[in-house]
Amino acid sequence: MSTPPVGPQPSVDDLTDGMRRVLAATYRGRDPSGLALATVDGEGLVVDIRLAPTVARHETRVVADAIRQAVTAAQRSIVDAFEALTVAGQRVEPPSMLDNVPTAGEEPR
């Protein structure tokens, strides 16, 4: 059985609305060197990649790594947005489908 979260919990409607907002938004991420800026949609799919004007001065491998890091940073922003839907720093776990399933030898409720 899962343990119920402590403290006030958002309603299912609040969580659903929040999830819809997260999925409808776009998110940006930049690589640490500032060479690439990636934009992803709420599902993490790449919408746009912008490269610094100095991109031609860098090796292909460096540019590819910058793009990967920028996309990863943008996708991490989605995770952060979903985590912001939690209460008091605790994840809101949906009830398990197995919570009400009797164990072997136990009578169904």
- Residue 88 burial by CB count (10 A; 0-12/13-18/19+): exposed, middle or buried? exposed
- Please give the model's pTM, rounded to 2 decimal places: 0.70
CATH class of the structural domain 28-83: alpha beta
Q: With CA atoms as reference, report the closest residue to 40 among 50, 53, 54.
A: 50
C-alpha to C-alpha distances, 59 to 54, 63, 84, nearest whole angstrom? 11, 6, 38
Q: Which tens digit of pLDDT belongs to each residue from 38-96?
A: 999 999 999 999 999 999 999 999 999 999 999 999 999 999 998 888 753 445 454 44
